[in-house]
Copies of this chain bind each other. A is one copy, B any other.
Amino acid sequence: MFLHVDPANGLAIYDQIVRGIKFAVAGGALASGELAPSVRELARDLAINPNTVARAYQQLQSDQVLENVRGRGLAVARGALERCRKERVQLIERRIAQVLAEAHQSGLSERQLRELIERALAALPRGKGGNA
């Protein structure tokens, strides 16, 4: 399964699903035209309320990442790959900028910041990046 959900994440569950699906599309795990897992199936797999999955899928439709294929389910929309890749970079870029700005404004010097960043980068699991 390409999707994990952590109820204690702080982020809303439905939001984690939205992000998870978008990242799956951006990373190629879900190709254009392919069907996303059904609401019931995903809800069962993640052990969450189907309403929550439905809400996430609704937003993914309004974001034009998924589209309803009558009688078959929800498929990855045409053009979703580019949209998701762009959004992913934008999203991450914005969050990085925000966190760094906040940190800097709190009184830490850029030197101290770089040190923290290097430590964080060193702690990353190896060999997963670069698929997109």
Contact = CB atoms under 8 A, between A and B. Distances in A.
Interface string A116-131: 1101110111001111
Q: For this complex, into which size category does the number of interface residues on chain A fall?
A: 35 or more
Q: How many copies does the complex hold?
A: 4
A114 B62 CA distance: 32
Given A105-B128, A128-B104, A129-B104, A97 B110 contact: no
A120 B129 CA distance: 20
A96 B70 CA distance: 26
A81 to B, nearest CB: 12
A12 B131 CA distance: 36
A101 B119 contact: no
